[in-house]
A and B are shown apart, each in its own frame.
Chain A
Amino acid sequence: MSALLEVRDLVVEYASRDGSVRAVDGVSLDVPRGETLALVGESGSGKTSLGRAILRLVPAASGSVRFDGADVLTLNGDSLQRFRRRAQVVFQDPKASLDPRMRVGDVIREGIDIHALASRPDANQRVARLLAEVGLNATDADRLPHEFSGGERQRIAIARALAVEPEFLVLDEAVSALDVLVRRQVLDLLAALQAARGLTYLFIAHDLAVVERIATRVAVMQQGRIVECAPTAALFAAPESTAAQALLAAIPRIPW
């Protein structure tokens, strides 16, 4: 069976003062259905650009992205709209990604309305179920984002992404801004949601320690390329690239 997501020789370029910068420089990867691929690398290694190009949030210069067999880079109109329902994203900073003037229930329901997935009463019920699923209360639908803590806001962002019943989530540094306790809770939530819904994750992080529990495989990025890709336990036990070794060495060595 082929993977849910297949990326081949993907290139992303940005215009700069003197020509162009190649942020993603020929990346190929597969993410099988139900698995989590962690994309790890230093700031500027191209991991966010890669995630955005896969979601068609930035244009690709060349290469291909296939999602469930369909060529993502040539989708348009209705077919692109359907892809957007199936592939969702959670960003690092929920303070920036949630509209401060929209009530939480409206934030979560917006996608349901855009994709006409439910009538108004059904949509409201679905919002209540989603809030419960991410560990919040149905009454939180009437509140505004600023009334919530950072961890709760990230739960809202996850509920918003799940509202359209996606199969694939790009989690771009989704737990990096959270303190260690809340980070663990949100990681546990993501793992439980994956098991319950059969979700497939592309989990972007700069910190290898964060992905250890959640990733099936880890791809290490450096200067726009994937320099190593291995099952998580193997990468932690025997990193081969200098980039992976540096990331592993950067995890604080606690004298247990």
Chain B
Amino acid sequence: MNPALLSVEQLQIDAGGAHGAAATPILRGVSFALQPGETVGLLGASGSGKTSLALALLGLLPLPLTARGRVHFEGHELLAASRGARRALRGRRLAMVFQEPLSALNPRMRVGAQVAEMARAHGERDARRAMRGAVEMLGRVGLAETDARAQRYPHELSGGERQRVLLAMALLLSPALLIADEPTSALDVTVQAQVLQLLHAQQRERGMALLLVSHDLGVIATSCERTIVLHNGLVVEDVPTRQLLSAPEHAQARALVDAVRPAVRRA
């Protein structure tokens, strides 16, 4: 077997615990691995710890949350890495897309410039080349007439278009792993379907690994070969998605499967 792209061992996340107060466990020892190019869903209800897990992998846990354990990614130990080392990886090898594209974008900056900034932050010195790359990338995520669209501000775009901008930013430097945390939860269902399709097409084209975080198995099941179910800070299932759909073992996994089961079997 190939060495894993990402391997998480006994990851624990606690909230608080400073000044002698008792810490509240968010993750209580989570282990799993991702192979290069693998698509894995991280499924859990609100409060299961899935977003904290995603943020910990990115080194973006907000205080007072703290992480312990080991996270290996492409030969780096992420939890022990310096801020500078993590920043060098983030965006370039390890990218992310968040739920709310409006709050993830700078409202005072044209979207083309924001995408170009990703290249410049990772060493592109030529501003015009960065902008050309950004415009081309915006075209590939389906923002047509891109020169004009690139000149727009986030508030001039729809929710789906904003999420495409975030995706363009995430994909720009061809990362090995994309972490998408509820990338479509704030979108209309029809727009959700378009954005998910785009995400999968780009994932296949690039052979990039995908960790798709959601409470909705419908979002995960159409694209992820494997699903990890998180409940109360623990992994309660880590199985092929087909197996989860046909025979969920853990009670919480069963509830999450039943929640998306249609009332009537549809053609």
Contact = CB atoms under 8 A, between A and B. Distances in A.
Interface of A: 42-43, 149-150, 179-184, 206-209, 212-213, 233, 236, 246-247, 249-256
B219 A252 contact: yes
Contacts of A181: 45, 215, 255-256, 259
B143 interface: no
Interface string B35-49: 000000000011100
8 contacts: A43-B159, A179-B216, A184-B258, A212-B262, A212-B263, A252-B193, A252-B218, A254-B218
A183 B185 CA distance: 13
A213 to B, nearest CB: 5
A247 B188 CA distance: 10
Contacts of B191: 42-43
A182 B46 contact: yes
Nearest to A184: B259
Contacts of A213: 263
Contact of B192 (A236, A250, A253): A250
Given A179-B45, A181-B45, A254-B260, A249 B193 contact: yes
B190 interface: yes
Interface of B: 45-47, 159, 188-193, 196, 215-219, 221-222, 241-242, 245-246, 255-256, 258-266
Contacts, number: 80
B230 to A, nearest CB: 12
A179 B46 CA distance: 6
Contacts of A183: 259
Contacts of A246: 190
A236 B264 contact: yes
B97 to A, nearest CB: 18
A127 B192 CA distance: 39
A253 B245 CA distance: 12
A206 B222 CA distance: 20
B221 A207 contact: no
Given A180-B215, A251-B262, A254-B217, 16 more contacts: A42-B188, A43-B188, A149-B46, A149-B47, A180-B260, A181-B255, A184-B258, A212-B263, A236-B266, A246-B190, A247-B189, A247-B190, A249-B193, A251-B189, A255-B222, A256-B246
Nearest to B196: A252
B162 to A, nearest CB: 13
Contacts of B47: 149
A209 B262 contact: yes
B245 A255 contact: yes
Given A180-B217, A233-B264, A246-B190, A252 B255 contact: no
A254 B221 contact: yes
A184 B255 CA distance: 10
B50 to A, nearest CB: 10
B206 to A, nearest CB: 22
B221 A252 contact: yes
